[in-house]
Amino acid sequence: MRVEQVRYQSDDGLDLVGVLADGSGGSRAPAILVAHEAPGLTEHIKNRTIAFAEQGYVAFALDLFGAHDLGLEEGRAQATAIVQTPGLLYRRARAGLDVLLRLENVDREAVAAVGFCLGGATALELARHNAPIKAAIGFHPGLKRPAGSSDGPITARILMMIGDLDPIVPQEDRIAFAQSMNAAGADWELHVFGGVGHSYTNPDVDRFNFNGFRYNKDADRRSWAMALALLRDELKA
């Protein structure tokens, strides 16, 4: 499989570096945009991008920040800035999506956005702005809406998978999410893993010892299976 860095620019002129893993064997194939957590494009995200490619997809990990593998403080500062600047999360996400859509062997009618933490919110923003994606999937996504978020309508299928103990997604955010999805006419699902915290897919999170952040092997495995099942349904039908 080909795995390579791709240099590109956002429309606000920032130099970005994504990672492309093409599992298509060169033939026309469905594609997955992978959006990263607050610390940027890390090994964890690169590994998942390759894992999607191993399922036969063209997978591209976008870069929201123009910098990878940030420290915690810098990651948080970048994440805060991008969600507080109206429309910026969508524009940076769209720049990444456009990299995928320009690839010759990508089936443009079969593209999904998948994200982790901040990346889940990123995938949702693409859906809310009616970008050409068939599905938006979030692993432990933040569900607060960034500044400049659009109200839809949403045609992409939505699946958000959260840990019940995730301090990033309090009950009121779950209810507001449902209301906004209903208002946008979305085909949406919310899956809650009991006893599970934030960042459950990321084995590296435990070393930070944050309250409510914890890797969970079962939730990791189950959420991955649910995502692959949905992607098969929507992209390979």
Interface contacts to a second copy, rule CB under 8 A:
158, 164, 171, 175, 178, 181-182, 186-195, 218, 222, 225-226, 229
Q: Which of residues 90 and 188 has its CB atom nearest to a second copy in the complex?
A: 188
Residue 97 backbone phi and psi in degrees, to 5: -60, -40
Beta strands in the chain (DSSP E): 2-9, 15-22, 29-35, 58-61, 106-116, 135-139, 157-163, 187-193
Minimum CB separation from a second copy for residue 213, in Å?
A: 18
Q: Which of residues 41 and 156 has its CB atom nearest to a second copy in the complex?
A: 156
Check: CB of residue 128 under 8 Å from CB of residue 152.
yes
- Could you count the other beta carbons within 10 Å of the beta carbon of residue 61? 30
- Which residue type is seen at 224? W
In terms of Cβ atoms closer than 10 Å to its own Cβ (0-12, 13-18, 19+), residue 155 is middle
- Find where tokens 């507001």 sit: 176
Q: Which of residues 72 and 229 has its CB atom nearest to a second copy in the complex?
A: 229
Q: CA-to-CA distance for 177 and 64, rounded, in angstroms?
A: 23
Minimum CB separation from a second copy for residue 185, in Å?
A: 8
Minimum CB separation from a second copy for residue 139, in Å?
A: 14
Q: Which of residues 12 and 172 has its CB atom nearest to a second copy in the complex?
A: 172
- Tokens of residue 202, six digits: 């990321």
Minimum CB separation from a second copy for residue 230, in Å?
A: 9
Minimum CB separation from a second copy for residue 103, in Å?
A: 30
Q: Which of residues 40 and 141 has its CB atom nearest to a second copy in the complex?
A: 141
Phi-psi group of 57: left, alpha or beta (phi > 0 → left; psi -120 to 50 → alpha; rest → beta): beta
Minimum CB separation from a second copy for residue 183, in Å?
A: 11
Q: CA-to-CA distance for 67 and 84, rounded, in angstroms?
A: 19
Q: Which of residues 11 and 218 has its CB atom nearest to a second copy in the complex?
A: 218
